[in-house]
């Protein structure tokens, strides 16, 4: 089942999405969180940091596994996802860094790294809540449109449109890595709860296609239609096409 919740703006989206995570951590202080990067979850992470500062939540026992990491970037590279997580969440809350996991962008043997990461995810005993964004081509993690859905951690080749979209974070397009480690679609779908955050007009069409179109690996996020507990938080711009085509499908926060 998919719930689609429209927030008034990015800040409210972050607050609402964070509330779902806070309520999980209150129920289960050692929850396993699957985390995502990108611009969409920034207000969510800011709201979690805020709640921590106010003494409303402790991450001391929380464990995390991230969706993906660029191949070739060291953990301290400005655009690595390890660095993103440290800058936007891990260094700002009381999480134990030993409980945080990402694929190793510098792994010498990519195939072995995929299997190692599968073992890490399995050792957690299941992801309680997975945070996701959606790429402009409907990708989740770095699982790009393809003829089949991926299952476990895989070495993804970034689509040209993904490189274009992510080039804004790098000095030039040539510097964007062309490959990444990504948790697979099968692995993502095993999470007990899925929380997707979506912002902006440029995601409005693909979001409608993913949530209401055919379930196909050519739109990887369409697999969410098979999820049992999926909540999509969007801003008015991202929700606009769904609101126009499927009146009543969107709940206003
Ligand atoms: C990247 C990430 C995805 C993310 C997507 C959208 O490619 N690998 O996990 O969801 O971009 O990013 P943004 O939120 O910046 O639009």
For ligand 1, whether the C-beta of 182 sits within 6 Å is no
Nearest CA to ligand 1 atom 10: 133
For ligand 1, whether the C-beta of 135 sits within 6 Å is yes
pLDDT score of 164: 94
Residues annotated as catalytic are: 68, 137, 139, 144
Which strand (E) or helix (H) includes residue 213? Answer: none
pLDDT score of 214: 98
Please report the atom of ligand 1 found closest to the CA of residue 134. 10
pLDDT digit string (tens) for 12-71?
Answer: 999 999 999 999 999 999 999 999 999 999 999 999 999 999 999 999 999 999 999 999
Alpha carbon of residue 166 to chain centroid:
15
Write the CA distances from 196 to 6, 114, 220, integer angstroms.
12, 24, 13
What percentage of the chain reaches a pLDDT higher than 70?
100
Please report the atom of ligand 1 found closest to the CA of residue 180. 8
For ligand 1, whether the C-beta of 43 sits within 6 Å is no
Alpha carbon of residue 190 to chain centroid:
14
**Mutate-to-test residue for ligand 1 from 13, 35, 36, highest number of ligand atoms within 8 A of CB:** 36
Q: How far is the CA of 247 from the centre of ligand 1 (A)?
A: 27
pLDDT digit string (tens) for 109-144?
Answer: 999 999 999 999 999 999 999 999 999 999 999 999
For ligand 1, whether the C-beta of 166 sits within 6 Å is yes
**Strand 32-35 to strand 129-132: parallel, antiparallel, or no bridges (unpaired)?**
parallel
Closest to 216 measured CA to CA, from 241, 246, 243, 185: 185
Which of the four pLDDT bands, split at 50, 70 and 90, describes residue 175?
A: very high
Q: How far is the CA of 153 from the centre of ligand 1 (A)?
A: 17
Name the maximum alpha-carbon separation found in the chain: 50
pLDDT digit string (tens) for 84-117?
Answer: 999 999 999 999 999 999 999 999 999 999 999 9
3-state SS of the chain: helix, strand, coil percent to 5?
40, 20, 40
Instruction: Enter the pTM of the model.
Output: 0.97
pLDDT digit string (tens) for 26-41?
Answer: 999 999 999 999 999 9
Residue owning tokens 């899925």 = 194
Q: How far is the CA of 233 from the centre of ligand 1 (A)?
A: 15
Q: How far is the CA of 39 from the centre of ligand 1 (A)?
A: 7
Alpha carbon of residue 228 to chain centroid:
17
Alpha carbons within 13 A on the beta-carbon side of 144: 13
Contacts of 87 (CB under 8 A, 6+ apart): none
Q: Please give the structure tokens belonging to residue 236.
A: 């008015």
DSSP H stretches of helix in the chain: 10-27, 42-53, 81-88, 110-123, 160-166, 185-189, 204-212, 236-245
For ligand 1, whether the C-beta of 133 sits within 6 Å is yes
Average pLDDT of span 200-211: 98
pLDDT score of 38: 96
Please report the atom of ligand 1 found closest to the CA of residue 197. 14
């Amino acid at each position: 089942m998919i719930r689609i919740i429209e927030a008034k703006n990015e800040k409210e989206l972050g607050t609402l999405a964070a509330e779902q995570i806070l309520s999980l951590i209150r129920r289960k202080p050692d929850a396993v969180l699957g985390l995502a990067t990108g611009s969409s979850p920034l207000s969510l992470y800011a709201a979690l940091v805020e709640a921590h500062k106010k003494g409303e939540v402790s991450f001391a026992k929380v464990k995390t596994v991230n969706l993906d990491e660029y191949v070739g970037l060291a953990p301290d590279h400005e655009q690595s996802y390890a660095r993103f997580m440290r800058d936007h969440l891990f260094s700002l809350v009381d999480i134990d860094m030993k409980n945080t996991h990402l694929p190793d962008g510098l792994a010498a043997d990519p195939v072995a790294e995929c299997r190692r990461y599968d073992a890490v995810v399995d050792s957690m005993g299941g992801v309680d809540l997975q945070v996701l964004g959606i790429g402009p081509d409907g990708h989740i993690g770095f699982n790009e449109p393809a003829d089949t859905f991926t299952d476990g951690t895989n070495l993804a080749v970034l689509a040209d449109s993904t490189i274009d979209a992510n080039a804004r974070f790098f000095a030039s397009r040539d510097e964007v890595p062309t490959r990444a480690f990504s948790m697979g679609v099968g692995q993502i779908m095993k999470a007990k709860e899925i929380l997707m955050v979506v912002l902006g007009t440029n995601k409005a069409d693909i979001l409608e296609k993913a949530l209401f179109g055919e379930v196909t690996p050519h739109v990887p996020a369409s697999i969410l239609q098979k999820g049992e507990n999926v909540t999509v938080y969007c801003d008015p711009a991202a929700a606009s096409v769904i609101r126009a085509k499927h009146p009543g499908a969107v709940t206003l926060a």
